[in-house]
Structure 1
Amino acid sequence: MQVAIDTSEFSYLPAQAQAMGVPVPSVRRVTLPLPDGRHVSALQFGEETPRVTLLHGAGLNAHTWDTTVLALQQPVLAIDLAGHGDSSWRSDVDYTPRTLAIDVAAALDAWTDGAQLVVGQSLGGLTGAALAAARSDLVSELIVVDITPGIDTSAGPAALREFYAGPTDFETRDELVDRAISFGFGGARSDTERGVFLNTRVRDDGRVEWKHHFAHLAAQTLAAHGPGDDSAPSLLHTTGWQDLSKTTAPVTLVRAIDGFVSEADAKEFGERLPHARVTAVHATHNVQETAPAELASLISSSLASRGM
């Protein structure tokens, strides 16, 4: 599926930067054709070659990192994973971390010239682990944000499945904003409006639809199996432990205190990976949105410690 690039996606950055008291970095959208006819898309912040690569969670897109990037003030590559944002959907609907990591590797080969500090949240964290295991030359350090391979994510994804398993297209974006607020997602209405704008597109027929494939797959699952069905295999499968065990780069787990990773999950992570660092921040699951300054500070410290 080819997606038109809309430069209005950057229209929110000046106000966000002003509120934070920081300059607006240069930013552009880059798109890489892939051998199978799909493409991977990303946001490149800064004029210099990126030193940090950011991978978002399921149902999100590269813009989820905007506030963190503004706080960081470093050259950054924020990638839309396959099936999300402006990257192509997969006809085989394989959005498991090891498959997603193949596109990420292609993107890094094309747009960077050195190993990256890779920060991945949720599904992006497991994708980062798969990348680090398969292509150690591309990853200098891995920061996994609020996910572990063995986590019980039944509560969070269940709410998201119910949210997305409704209509797949709408007359206006305001309908989606109202729906998100009714489910308790987002904060202020202005923030929800921004999130909806950046995660939807207007089709040729004028209807508004979610950019990410997961919303459409959730609706198909509901139609086929009915509400409450949990038979679909989880994207967050246990091959992640294998990938993390093969990762030679330093690894940090960031646990959101009000997120999905419990203290027991974090303890298991530390026991399985005794050389990993485990830290906690006061945030919800989308740490990059609810504690961007703290996450940016952690990334900056990692860069400094590696002389990057």
Structure 2
Amino acid sequence: MSGPVRCFAGADGNRLVADRFGSDGAPVLLLHGGGQTRHAWAGAGQRIAAAGHVAYCLDQRGHGESDWVASGRYAFGDFGRDLVAVAGQITQEHGRPPVLVGASLGGLAGILAEGHQAPGTLAALVLVDITPRVDLDGVSRIVAFMSERMEDGFASVEEAADAIAAYLPHRPRPGSLDGLAKNLRRTPDGRLRWHWDPKFISARHGDGDVSRAMAEDELVSAARRLSLPVLLIRGGRSELVSLAHVEEFRAMVPQARFVDVEAAGHMVAGDRNDVFGEALIGFLRDLSPVHP
């Protein structure tokens, strides 16, 4: 069950929609990966609230019910700027900065926000299957899946579920498709399409090797400046993050903790939510002396 809806102002005045779970305690902000929505974090939000925190599960710009950005500004840094804006509003409300839990795109936003754009924005950072450098073949496979039905869409939720099952054959098909339905939108032609702005793909992945290398260099530089508590949770079968990437990241961020979730792919929380939840709640518990 979703919590009450809360709206925030993004860096460009764009409306950002979040579900709030819990009423008291240290704030935790959860940012989904590219092409997902805030509903991917519903289970985690409930568990975080049950552990005595307030969780905000946010639709990032161009995703879910948050505003599409007419300018097409969907670079990693733009998501980082939104994070700085939202974290500032949460800090003002709660009197303390939030812990960020960022999956993939959400984690990159966290690295840039804290390590480059506005140090001190976050209390701690949890990166879910993402590091500054990743396997580009894995990125290409994910982008290809996202792009495949971008124009044609789907006739039904069941057809979308079939596409996901073909892409993620290791994941059991859910008994209910209600969660998947929240990641789709009905368009005027009656078809269902993914609940994100198509410009997100063209802006992020049509800019060539030089721009991608520049973005990677910026992320590496930002990661090296991180001084807050960090937890990296990797899917043991990750398509993006190899153990070599993990070793490099831990050299950049010596204070980072690391958890490898066996039998999980890039979508760690979806594949092994039990193990993911235990690692996350344990990390939050250890932070409590810092934020009594």
Give the TM bin, normalised by the shorter chain: 0.7 to 0.9
User: What's the counterpart of residue 194 of structure 1?
Assistant: 178
Spell out, residue by residue over 1:30-75, the C-alpha distance to the aligned partner (whole angstroms, 9 max, x if none): 2234574521111111122652111111111111112223333232
CA–CA separation in structure 2 for the residues paired with 1:247 and 1:288: 24
Q: How does 1:183-222 map to 2 (within 5 A)?
A: 183-184=167-168, 187-190=171-174, 193-214=177-198, 217=201
Q: How does 1:114-193 map to 2 (within 5 A)?
A: 114-133=96-115, 134-166=117-149, 167-184=151-168, 187-190=171-174, 193=177
What amino acid sits opposite 2:30 in the alignment? L
User: What's the counterpart of residue 251 of structure 2?
Assistant: 271
What amino acid sits opposite 2:233 in the alignment? V
CA root-mean-square deviation: 3.1
Distance 1:33 1:306, change over 3 A: closer
User: What's the counterpart of residue 22 of structure 2?
Assistant: 46
CA–CA separation in structure 2 for the residues paired with 1:36 and 1:216: 16
Answering whether residue 37 of structure 2 is matched by residue 61 of structure 1, we say yes
Q: Contact (CA 8 Å) 1:169, 1:208: kept in 2 or not? A: yes
Answering whether residue 276 of structure 2 is matched by residue 292 of structure 1, we say no
Residue 295 of structure 1 deviates from its aligned partner by 2.3
CA–CA separation in structure 2 for the residues paired with 1:56 and 1:32: 16
Spell out, residue by residue over 1:48-105, the C-alpha distance to the aligned partner (whole angstroms, 9 max, x if none): 2652111111111111112223333232011111111111222333322221121122
Q: Contact (CA 8 Å) 2:11, 2:85: kept in 1 or not? A: no
Could you state the TM-score of these two structures normalised by the residue count of structure 1? Answer: 0.78
Could you state the TM-score of these two structures normalised by the residue count of structure 2? Answer: 0.82
Identity of aligned residues (%): 25
Residue 269 of structure 1 deviates from its aligned partner by 0.9
CA–CA separation in structure 2 for the residues paired with 1:244 and 1:279: 18
What amino acid sits opposite 1:276 in the alignment? A
Q: Contact (CA 8 Å) 1:53, 1:79: kept in 2 or not? A: yes
Report the count of equivalent residues: 278
CA–CA separation in structure 2 for the residues paired with 1:301 and 1:182: 34
Answering whether residue 72 of structure 2 is matched by residue 88 of structure 1, we say no
Q: Contact (CA 8 Å) 1:168, 1:210: kept in 2 or not? A: no
CA–CA separation in structure 2 for the residues paired with 1:286 and 1:116: 23
Q: Contact (CA 8 Å) 1:67, 1:289: kept in 2 or not? A: no
Q: Contact (CA 8 Å) 2:29, 2:101: kept in 1 or not? A: yes
Secondary structure at the residue paired with 2:72? coil
Q: Contact (CA 8 Å) 1:98, 1:130: kept in 2 or not? A: yes
Residue 106 of structure 1 deviates from its aligned partner by 1.9
CA–CA separation in structure 1 for the residues paired with 2:172 and 2:74: 31
Distance 1:163 1:103, change over 3 A: closer
What amino acid sits opposite 2:127 in the alignment? V
CA–CA separation in structure 2 for the residues paired with 1:180 and 1:128: 27
Spell out, residue by residue over 1:215-234, the C-alpha distance to the aligned partner (whole angstroms, 9 max, x if none): 8746xx8xxx9xxx976954
Query: Which 5+ residue runs of structure 1 have no aligned equivalent?
Result: 1-12, 14-25
What amino acid sits opposite 2:191 in the alignment? R
Q: Contact (CA 8 Å) 2:145, 2:167: kept in 1 or not? A: no
Q: Contact (CA 8 Å) 2:74, 2:200: kept in 1 or not? A: no
CA–CA separation in structure 1 for the residues paired with 2:39 and 2:137: 25
Secondary structure at the residue paired with 2:4? strand
Secondary structure at the residue paired with 1:95? coil
Secondary structure at the residue paired with 2:223? helix
Secondary structure at the residue paired with 1:65? helix
User: What's the counterpart of residue 79 of structure 2?
Assistant: 100
Q: Contact (CA 8 Å) 1:177, 1:192: kept in 2 or not? A: no
CA–CA separation in structure 1 for the residues paired with 2:279 and 2:229: 14
Q: Contact (CA 8 Å) 1:39, 1:87: kept in 2 or not? A: yes
Spell out, residue by residue over 1:175-223, the C-alpha distance to the aligned partner (whole angstroms, 9 max, x if none): 32233223346834436823431111123453322111258746xx8xx
User: What's the counterpart of residue 236 of structure 2?
Assistant: 257
Answering whether residue 283 of structure 2 is matched by residue 302 of structure 1, we say yes
